[in-house]
Structure 1
Amino acid sequence: MSRASEPAVATPDRKIALLIDADNVAHAKIGEMLAELSKYGTANIRRAYGNWASDSLKGWKDKLHDFAIRPIQQFSYSSGKNATDIALVIDAMELLYTQKLDAFCLASSDADFTPLVMQLRANGHEVYGFGERKTPSPFVNACTTFLYIESLEEEAPDVSRAPVEKPPAKAKPSATAKAASEKIADKSLAMDTKLVTVLRGAVEATMAEDGWAPMSAAGSAAKRQAPIDPRNYGAKNFPALFAATGLFDIVKSENGQSFVADKRNKDRAKTPGS
């Protein structure tokens, strides 16, 4: 990650406008991008710009529906001119002066957006950027925080770890974790790439240095990324949903608070706070 300056401390109620240049950024990591963005607030406005009649954007269409991103149609009025960029810039300036936003996020590998970033920051807004490693340095350096898409961790589910492990000593398993340990986890949930991406991103966004995240915070972070209701997956709440995937460890502290950790994180502490 390249940082022009350190971002302010994130709070869940911070409002962020996510503007995507679909012509210049790959769709494969949109879930991971939203997970990363949830560390800084909630992407209330999600728009993707491009000529949606073009074959080159076919891969984006399912992602738009999955993550509630509004497609903004922009025809190419003349050869060699990028009307998409102009449409994005116009919308960004309109949002700047008509909406009460805390930050903007621009997803593009096009350095032509550098002046826009500078203008948004001059007006007191943080600007987070996503783009490929080919992104020119002026755009990267202009952003408050810029993350290369290639650096986003793959979120492919590891079904081989489906059974829930026995919780470590000094921590009591929650009721949902105990129930999950008595049967094989629901592999269909573990194979749901979108769900796993959101849940893992939520844990990463809210975990402490010990690798454990408060369950309540992780559930809230998941809802900031996508409109996920655990009941739609056969679980009564987020603790049950995390447990049902078989991809997370869940423990309850002595004061009754539940914590969740990604099983892939081998650097985490054995117990929360230890």
Structure 2
Amino acid sequence: MLNNTSTKVMESLLREIAKFGTAYVKRIYGDWTNPQMNTWKKLLNDFAVLPIQQFSYTTGKNSTDTALIIDAMDLLYTDKFDGFCIVSSDSDFTRLAHRIRQNGLVVYGFGKKTTPKAFVSACDRFICTDLLDVDTENLGNEIVQENIPVEINNTQKKDKKLNKLLKNASDSVVGDDDKTVNLGTLNQQLLKLDSSFDPRAYHCKKLGELLKSTGLFIVEGNNVTLK
């Protein structure tokens, strides 16, 4: 369900969504009588996205928010879906994300890096649309090649917030006797601690590459050990 997004990210956005499953219902909300929406028309046909008309009854008020929320609740009560993707940088959908998750469904949020923290945290996973041009594989299933050296990045090595997040995630999933953790398991824990975590934000295509660049971890295949 799309609201307040740009035509520039449509293809990469749908490619990203496809990593999580099949999008059976694809809708975008707006006032299609507005000439500014003309650039969307070809894209909607190309990607089979259904435009939902919502007139702008009052200047300065976004009536599409309400329409999206009502439709989302209607779809929720059909009990036919496993999750929702909400594409917006608007904090007004925070309560909607909470409500969907209360029913046991997964919520994937997509928006700009300026998206309010409340909406970001309300999602199981939040992907910054500014990062979608980076071509990357599924982080949870990646295998890092052992013989390819990765240079330690001083910027990431000094990033206290990043290092704290990585260490906390690692400490949460390692055993008492074994300090080694599976790369996919670590990635899942990172997303639990920070739904917006994405190696692409640190100019790394994969999680293993990011871990190596901090100089804090030893990565061998799918195994990660804190130094």
Query: What TM bracket, shorter-length normalisation?
Result: 0.5 to 0.7
Matched, 1:34 2:14: yes
CA RMSD between the two structures: 2.5
**In the alignment, which residue of structure 2 is the partner of 1:91?**
71
- In the alignment, the residues of structure 1 paired with residue 100 and residue 141 of structure 2 have an alpha-carbon distance, to the nearest angstrom, of 31
Aligned partners of 2:140, 2:117: CA distance in 1, in Å? 31
CA 1:208–1:96: 2 relative to 1, 3 Å: closer
1:153-212 CA-to-partner distances (Å, cap 9, x unmatched) read 25xxxxxxxxxxxxxxxxxxxxxxxxxxxxxxxxxxxxxxxxxxxxx78xx35995248x
Aligned counterpart, 1:52: 32
Q: What is the CA-CA distance between 1:120 and the residue it aligns to?
A: 0.5
Q: Tell me the residue number matched to 1:115.
A: 95
Aligned partners of 1:207, 1:135: CA distance in 2, in Å? Answer: 25
CA distance in 2, matches of 1:128, 1:93: 16
The separation in 2 between residues aligned to 1:54 and 1:65, in whole angstroms, is 18
Give the AA of the match of 1:37.
Answer: I
Q: What letter corresponds to residue 59 of structure 2 in structure 1?
A: S
Conserved? CA contact 1:35–1:205, under 8 Å: no
- Is the CA contact (8 Å cut-off) linking 1:38 and 1:205 kept in structure 2? no
Matches within 5 A, 1:82-231: 82-153=62-133, 204-205=137-138, 208-210=141-143
TM-score (norm 2): 0.60
Distance 1:37 1:88, change over 3 A: same
Deviations 1:35-68 (A, max 9, x none): 1111211001000000011133222222111110
Q: Equivalents in 2 of 1:112, 1:123: separation in Å?
A: 19
Which amino acid counterpart does residue 113 of structure 2 have in structure 1? R
**SS, match of residue 58 in structure 1:** helix
- 2:1 matches 1:68: no
5+ residue gaps, structure 2, are 145-204, 209-220, 222-227
Cross-structure match for 1:220: none
Runs of 4+ in 1 over 4 A off after TM superposition: 205-208
Inter-CA distance 71–99: structure 2 relative to 1 (3 Å threshold): farther
Structure 1 match to 2:2: 20
Q: Which runs of 5+ in 1 are unaligned?
A: 1-18, 155-199, 212-264, 268-272
Whether 1:77 and 2:44 are equivalent positions in the alignment is no
Pairwise mapping of residues 226-265 of structure 1 onto structure 2 (< 5 A)?
none
Opposite residue 20 of structure 1, the aligned amino acid is: L
Structure 2 CA distance for aligned equivalents of residues 77 and 207 of structure 1:
45
For 1:11, the equivalent position in structure 2 comes to: none
Partner amino acid, structure 1, of 2:21: G
SS where residue 42 of structure 1 aligns?
A: coil
Counterpart AA for 2:55: F
* Equivalent AA in structure 2 for residue 145 of structure 1: R
Q: SS at 1:41's partner residue?
A: coil
- Higher normalized helix content (fraction of residues): 2
